[in-house]
Each structure stands twice: as C-alpha cells, then as structure tokens.
Amino acid sequence: MSFETIVKNIDEFKELIANDNQKEVIAILDELHPADIAEMMDDLNIEEAKYIYLLLEGEKASDVLIEIDEDDRRKFLKVLPPEVIASKFIEHMDSDDAADVVAELDEEVQREVLNEIIDSEQAGDIVDLLEYEEDSAGGIMAKELVKVNENWNVATCLKEISRQAEEVDEIFYIYVTDNDDKLKGVLSLKKLILNHTNTKVSKLYNPDIKKVTTGARQEEVAELMDKYDLVAVPVVDEIGRLKGRITWDDVIDIVREEAERDYQMVSGITGDVEPGDKVFQLVRVRFPWLLIGLLGGILSATVLRTHEHALTKVTQLAFFIPLIAAMAGNVGVQSSSIVVQSIASGVKDIETPLRKLLKDVSVALLTAMVFSVLLFLYNFFTADNMNLTYSVSISLFIVILFASLFGTVIPLVLNKFKIDPALATGPFITTMNDIVGLLIYLTISSFFFDLV
C-alpha cells in the first residue's frame, strides 16, 4: 500500500490501530519510508503514534523519530520510559542524531537514558557532543568515521577499515591521523587498493584537506561544503585532533533551518515558530516587531501632525503620502535584499569599498531619476499646481536615493557587528524609510509652498 493511499484512507488505518491489528499495521509500515511514516504521524494522536513506534524495530524506529517535528518528538518522548528511549531509539542512531534527541530531554531523564545505553563508548560520545554549542560544528558533527594511522601499511589499513565500517553508515572519506590523533590528510580508497600491501599510508595520503574546528559556526560549515562541493568535512579541535565529521545531510538541515529563520525574520517574527504552537507562543514571537511597527506608526503620525498646517492649506499634498511611503519601503527592501543575498551566499566582493559605494550611488541615482521624471510628467499633465509637481518629484528623487543607500548600508553594518543581516529586510527598514520619507516629503513641500 502506497503512502498516498494510506493518507487518503487514514481512518481505516486508525481503525487497524484501534483493533490492535499488529500484523497488518506492521505490514503497512514495512512498505513505507521513515519520512512518510513521520509525515503520517501528523494525522494521529499521541496514543496512536506511541502504538506505531512500539511496533517499529531497530534503525527504522530511530530514523522515524529523527524525521518528525521537534515539538512532536518532545511530546512523544515524554510518554516513554528511559529504558525504551535508550534501547529502541538511541542505540540505533548515529551519535549526532542521538545527541540531538537526548538534548531535548529533561536533565534527569537525560541521565537515566544515558545510563540505560549498553554501549558505554556510544554514551560517552553523546556526552561529549552535548558539551558543544548547538549551532557549532561540534554540536552538529557525528563521531562515527573511518580513520587510519599514517604509519600503518596498506594491509593493516584494509583490516581496520573493514572493522570500523561496521559503525559507519556511509564512508565518504578515509581520514589519516598521526600518533597524537591529529588530522594529517585524506586517503583515497583507489590508491589503497592499487598499492602493495606493505606500502605505508604516509606515502599515499593527500595532505590538502578542508576542515573546520569544533567552535566554527554551522553557517561557516555550510558555506565551506557548498563552495568546495564536499559531501563530508572533518572536524578538529584547537590543536588539530580529529573529533568527528559533518555530512551533507546535516548541512541540508542547516540550510533549511537558516532559510526558515530568515524568512520569519523578514516577516517580522522573532524566534522559532511552528503552526502547531500555542496561542501565547505565536503572539510572543510576533509581538516585538509589531510593537516597533506601532511605534513607527506613532512617529509617522507625529511627523504628519507637525506639518498639519501645510496639509490643511494644500490638501493635495496628502494625495501623495501613500506613494512616497510605499516607494521608500519598496526601494529599501529591494536594496537590502540584494545585499543580504550576497552575504548569505558567501560571495566575496571583488570590488573595493569605494567602487562598491560609487556603484550603489549610481544605481540609486539612476533609479531615482527615472521614477521622479515619470511622476513629474504625470503631475505636469494632470495637476494644475507646478509647486506640487516640483515638490513631489524632488521629494521622490531624494526619498529613493536615501532609501536605496539606507537599504544597502544597514545590512553591511549589521553583518559587521555579527547581527543577522536578514533583520534589515523586515519591518525595521520599511518602518524607518516610511518615517524618513514622510519627513523629507513634507519638509520639501513646505519650502515650495512657503509654509516654513
């Protein structure tokens, strides 16, 4: 039975669970990929999900647990005893996934689960990984890898690789270390097979290897692997000792999480949020930027109030307030988005700061000139007041110029101070440009209509 068929007939599947028809449920689960089972869990209650999990065996059970949403995983783990978590899930996971799951448990439950793990080496690896920051290379690496000593010969290497491979799902690289476990390079399996059994590894390995330290940010790891098309990257400590490896699937998770976080930030949402979160949590993550938007609106109203005389005397000025505010916000967001995109992609700017500034100014000037001329022509043929035509066109020119430069500079400044530049593409820059745009427009109009 396919996944699509089960989803369409989820009530029938629930009925099998309710009737304790283990044989048919197991038969269905055996045909499904762990990701499909995890997706199906969204349509089941906690008791039904628990029933399914207890029927799963070995690696499939642990794979399904990793695939489901973190919040759902926490809820599910709370209803399972520590010995079941250890024997049914943790013992079948790679160390990085196991550490992620254990980290979600309460401290007391963590200790109980770790004590229930039969393999003391695996338990030790998990404890080591829990010491690192969650978003660091050490926090996302796995301990499982294949390594050989530079002083071994080919025969010894082949024997050791065969033994170590039992603990590793996929062998992407064979790492070479010295007697102090410091990373020396990477060994090609082809060279290993083609050379004589007595040949030393020190004559075969490639010392040119890309690596990261345990304290490196996960974004740096993703950028490195993307730049050099790596499927795995070794992780070393501050003195170069090999500690683990990060594989491509971990990087995909990082990229997805970063994209989700940046999208939420652009939308004016702080913190992680899921559709299933409680009302208070949803309000809390939206509140900060909505508050800033409210304060920005109050400042905009204050700007309008201080120029109330001008708006009362020349009511036509009010017609173009939405246009000025909209253009300021849109231009600012466009400019900042381009800069944020280049920062996020890790592009190294080959231009000097002066040339880059001149380029940004040129783009802003050309854009401002085109749109201010278009607005001038519109007012010239439709409005009966040349002062209005001049003031609106000149204001739009200055507003676009300011918004473009502001949108370019702010992300660079934020990035310089290690603040996520995606912050600049959200409500922050829109609100600031609205306020400044209105101030520019009304100030210039007051001069043209002699209302100063």
What pLDDT, in 10s, does the model give residues 213-264? 999 998 889 889 988 999 999 999 999 999 999 998 888 877 777 766 666 6
State residue 351's pLDDT score.
Answer: 57
Q: What are the residue ranges of CATH 1.10.357.20 in the chain?
A: 279-448
Instruction: Inform me whether the pLDDT recorded for 279 exceeds 70.
Output: no
pLDDT of the residue at 307: 86
Residue 272: its pLDDT value, please? 59
Lowest mean pLDDT among 130-139, 261-270, 393-402: 261-270
Residue 284, pLDDT > 90, answer no
pTM of the predicted structure, to 2 decimals: 0.67
Considering the chain, tell me which residue range(s) the CATH 1.25.60.10 domain(s) occupy. Answer: 3-134
Q: Return the CATH number of the domain spanning residue range 3-134.
A: 1.25.60.10
Q: What are the φ/ψ torsions at residue 293 (nearest 5 degrees)?
A: -60, -40
State pLDDT tens for residues 395-428.
999 999 999 888 888 888 877 777 767 665 667 7
Can you spell out the DSSP letters for 72-85?
A: HHHHHHHTS-HHHI
Express as a percent the part of the chain with pLDDT over 90.
Answer: 37
Structure letter (DSSP) for residue 111: H
Q: Which residues pair with 176 in a beta bridge?
A: 148, 185
**Is pLDDT at 292 greater than 80 in this prediction?**
no
Q: Binning pLDDT at 50, 70 and 90, where does residue 384 land?
A: confident
**pLDDT of residue 153 exceeding 70:** yes
Would the pLDDT of 50 be above 90? no
- Beta sheet of 174-177, edge-to-edge order: 146-149, 174-177, 183-187
* Rounded Cα distance, 218 and 397, in Å: 42
Better-predicted residue by pLDDT, 420 or 361: 361
Q: How many residues does the chain have?
A: 452
Residues 149-169 as b/e (b if ≥16 CB within 10 A, e otherwise) read: bbebbbebbbebbeebeeeee
Top-ranked range on mean pLDDT: pick from 48-52, 271-275, 295-299, 393-397: 393-397
183 contacts 242 by C-beta, under 8 angstroms: yes
Check if the beta carbon of residue 234 is closer than 8 Å to that of residue 183. Answer: yes
Whole-number Cα distances in Å, 90 to 40, 93, 167: 22, 5, 14
Alpha carbon distances (Å) from 364 to 118, 334, 384: 65, 11, 30
Give CATH 3.10.580.10 domain extents, the chain.
146-259
What pLDDT, in 10s, does the model give residues 58-82? 788 888 888 887 777 887 788 888 9
Question: Which pLDDT belongs to residue 65?
Answer: 86
Q: Which residue has the higher pLDDT, 75 or 197?
A: 197
Q: What is the pLDDT of residue 89?
A: 86
Average confidence score pLDDT of the chain: 85
pLDDT score for 80: 83
Cβ(82)–Cβ(116) below 8 Å: yes
Contacts of residue 263, Cβ cutoff 8 Å, sequence gap at least 6: none
> Tell me, what's the pLDDT at 1?
57
List helix spans (H) across 165-229. Answer: 189-194, 218-228
Q: Which CATH superfamily is domain 146-259 in?
A: CBS-domain (3.10.580.10)
Q: Is the pLDDT of residue 200 over 80?
A: yes
Structure token pair of residue 318: 């009010």
In terms of CATH architecture, what is 279-448? Answer: Orthogonal Bundle (1.10)
CA 250 centroid distance within chain: 12
pLDDT confidence bin for 8, thresholds 50/70/90: low
In angstroms, the CA 180 to CA 149 distance is 10
The answer for residues whose C-beta is within 8 angstroms of residue 207's C-beta and 6 or more apart is 184, 185
Average the pLDDT over 22-42 and give the result.
87
